[in-house]
Structure 1
Amino acid sequence: MTPHPRYRELVETGFAAANFIGDLGIRATDCGPGWVEAELDILPRHLQQNGFIHAGVQATLADHSAGAAAATLVAEGQTVLTLEFKLNLLRPARGQRLLCRAEVLKAGRQVSVVEAEVFSLQDGEKCLFSKATVTMAVVPIP
């Protein structure tokens, strides 16, 4: 697929315009055609009752990053909406910052499939907490 001509602007605008994403504190850190990286500084409000980072926080980080990655490969006048996603929680998530990298596996004219990993860096090592597979519908911008 050909990258969107303004993919970086599209990603930045998509993160800035999503109120829920801003409320959580998720921000894009880098992007390119077919991929996006994002991060979230963990606060007490992101934790569940046992002190681990809530699965919903991880799901939101993965889903929004996946959508942004897919959006880098759509044509002018199109956007993406999540059709379905599956999140595998691999271990209890802890740490001061979550990182996410989303990469498009298959970019199509009507449907794209994206994989997103949520992790932290602990002692310089990547600790993977969850992995999502996200199916995105490519739709016209209303």
Structure 2
Amino acid sequence: MKPQDPHFEKKIKELFSKANFISELGVQLKSISPGQCKTTLQVQPRHMQQNKFVHAGVQATMADHTAGAAAGSLIKADEIILTVEFKINFLRPALGESLRCQSDVLKAGKNIYVAESEVFSISKGEEKLTAKSMITLSVVKWQNC
């Protein structure tokens, strides 16, 4: 897949720095390349649900935003990506010191993109797939880009 904006890396880095909720949650951009994004999160007590697993909402947010960045790496400078729909399967409880998410654009259409995100929990150096998500995203012209 080929990016339509030669400055896509800068745009995605700004996307992460300006997304207050993502910053507050602690999701960090690890890498960005055309059609792919990787993020990490250092697990804190605030990320846990009542049984001491990482909350489903944390994983879903990470999967969604990482997919948006992957799709955002392919669009024109005057466009943005908005999530239309996403489905997530939680495969096992997320336990550990950190999470890693990888998102890949599977289909880049004219107006609609489809991406897949996988969230892994990392505990004592061992990585386990905890969630898998399919995200449908819309390409929107944006005058404030």
TM range (shorter): over 0.9
1:2 aligned partner, one-letter code: K
Q: How well do the aligned residues superpose, as a CA RMSD in angstroms? A: 1.1
1:41 aligned partner, one-letter code: Q
* Cα displacement (A) at 1:2: 2.9
Deviations 1:23-72 (A, max 9, x none): 00111011100000000000000000010000000000000000000000
Alignment partner, residue 61 of structure 2: 60
TM-score for the superposition, normalised by structure 2? 0.94
TM-score for the superposition, normalised by structure 1? 0.96
Deviations 1:66-88 (A, max 9, x none): 00000001112011000000000
2:2 aligned partner, one-letter code: T
Map 1:17-56 to 2 at 5 A.
17-56=18-57
Query: How many equivalent residue pairs?
Result: 142
Take 1:108 and 1:74, find their aligned partners in 2: how far apart are those partners? 10
2:2 maps to 1:2: yes
Unaligned 5+ runs, structure 1: none
SS in 2 for 1:49: coil
SS in 2 for 1:14: helix
Deviations 1:78-116 (A, max 9, x none): 110000000000001101100000000001110000000
Unaligned 5+ runs, structure 2: none
